[in-house]
Chains A and B, each alone.
Chain A
């Protein structure tokens, strides 16, 4: 069935550079001797460790358990011994370390007994809990815990499966759809049943014809009525709001979640892991990572979480002039020096950088207000205004120009003729605004605590005074009683005393 898509505003068409890594099938990476698993692998609250140093763990065993709703558990990707729990490097632009669990692997790959749940009989809440305990999070990059997205009470009108993969170089979803289409389609059917969606749309950019063919084949084999929508290749077609608009024509206003409009969206790799969790009892402890860029053999690797990025890069043979990494795609990813930080649930792609492939950005020159950025912005913002206020450190003004709606897709910086690193300015302004909000909240809390303390001091004072008065009255009554007992005329004595 053919279905045309709506044209979202803005966007750019960078070179896709996907062919090299999409050619070969997904290969399994050899098991490293040591895995480092940062506790915080998803949006929300980090899970808490439930293992001790020195303990032996089996493959698939929970090593950190989710304690809050917006959080997901973490599992051992293989069997081994817990070597340490402490601060270790992280693939983060700050270069700061973060709490992680270190596993020394034993190579036995000994599974923990984990029978698959009878998911067809489970209540929706139980399915949600099971997914949370299986550590299922969005593998497209935002790593939002998936069970939270299944929370919708209202019936979904459209279920969107995101296989657009619009970032250049990244091909992990492409290969996954080509090789594991049947399981993805089973997962989609499961999600359709859970969300009660009326219509299921699978979005794939038209530069992935094999993936489109594989998915269509699997759908007809499963006799499902899902529609594969072929999107024109334009970045950022895979971004949530752009994708929803392209497929349904629905536009969520600022500050309104698409869920409120009856649309829910899952990435294909997430759907695959939901299926593995519910049908096979397998937690998220591996993922497919694209290794590309300045390497001899670009391809996709099925990698245990916690494997060092450096080690993974070595598998594809980095060329000698490699001078750094990009984690994620070149548009939105994090530029890092070569690092032994580990692969986490959110790492979809490693790109080896070289001065030839990624020449340094020319120096920034003044903004000439050409508005090329506004035309490229898929969110309909005015990046030149946002830049102006961010640069002037007038963050409240930047917020009024809807800075929070910026998805940091990088289209504005890509088209800027003055080579202004616009996204960097926006990240800086967002950070300052978030810090100011944090400080304001702390000040408000401190104020209410201070006021309560004063109220309490006042209350204690009056209580003490009341107690003293009561004690004095009791004392007086006692004395009066004694004296009256002595004289035998209580009434008169008391009244006389009062008169005195």
Chain B
């Protein structure tokens, strides 16, 4: 008889807890995948596609689904890979090929007298940083360009150069002491 009471108590407890958990799962449901968002926050948002995925978010989704390595992002470099390894509790993998050192910021510049106004680069830009219209000269908004180089290939007249923006007293930083 005692054993039946014990089983009944345990069963009741399990039912109650199960109901509570079930309710919590519905009531406090997290939209989206928080890990993906955390990974995406580390990625540099260049949207260049050099990792083989169409943008930073798709790459973040692939990493969190376990479909991609963490060392495929050249703009993030080894610094980015190290942060990803720390977040995911994985071992640091040296970045593959080009991803070795973090790239210095470069921006696309349209050589204006060669531009024919074909709008192909506008369609290729992942962050809408190029303005222009058909048969009108295009230009890159310097402050919005991520330097992803996706506009280079579609240009039929090769009028886009990648340049390092000049250093100014405002962007200059103090060097490390003793160096």
Contact = CB atoms under 8 A, between A and B. Distances in A.
Contact of A428 (B40, B168, B177): B177
A486 interface: no
B55 interface: yes
Contacts of B174: 93, 424, 427-428, 430-431
A442 B57 CA distance: 16
B173 interface: yes
Interface stretch (B10-18, B42-50, B110-118, B132-140): B42-50
Q: Is the interface of B mostly helix, strand, loop or mixed?
A: loop
A446 B47 contact: yes
A424 B168 contact: no
Interface in A438-461: 439, 442-447, 449-454
B177 A449 contact: no
Interface in B143-176: 144, 146, 167-176
Contacts of A452: 128
B173 A431 contact: yes
B127 A449 contact: yes
A364 interface: yes
A451 B127 CA distance: 8
A424 B174 CA distance: 8
B97 interface: no
A446 B172 contact: no
B125 to A, nearest CB: 8
Nearest to A93: B174
B177 A425 contact: yes
A446 B173 contact: no
Contacts of B171: 435
A364 B178 CA distance: 9
B177 A446 contact: no
Contacts of B43: 443
A92 B168 CA distance: 10
B173 A428 contact: yes
Contacts of A446: 45-47, 127, 144, 146
Interface residues of B, number: 27
A425 B175 CA distance: 9
Provide the main secondary structure of the chain A interface.
helix
Contacts of B46: 446
Contacts of A424: 174, 177
B173 A435 contact: yes
Interface in B68-126: 126
Contacts of A90: 169
Contacts of A439: 44
B177 A450 contact: no
Central interface residue in A40, A93, A447, by most chain B CB within 10 Å: A447
Nearest to A443: B45
Contacts of A40: 169-170
Best-surrounded residue of A430, A435, A450 (most CB of chain B within 10 A): A450
B145 to A, nearest CB: 9
Contact of B172 (A96, A444, A445, A453): A96
Interface string A89-118: 010111010100000000000000000000
Interface of A: 40, 90, 92-94, 96, 98, 364, 391, 421, 424-425, 427-428, 430-432, 434-435, 439, 442-447, 449-454
Given A40-B169, A98-B168, A428-B174, 4 more contacts: A425-B177, A427-B174, A439-B44, A450-B57
5 contacts: A40-B169, A92-B172, A96-B169, A428-B177, A450-B56
9 closest Cβ pairs, A-B complex: A431-B173, A94-B172, A446-B45, A443-B45, A427-B174, A449-B127, A424-B177, A447-B45, A428-B174
Interface of B: 40, 43-47, 55-57, 126-129, 144, 146, 167-178
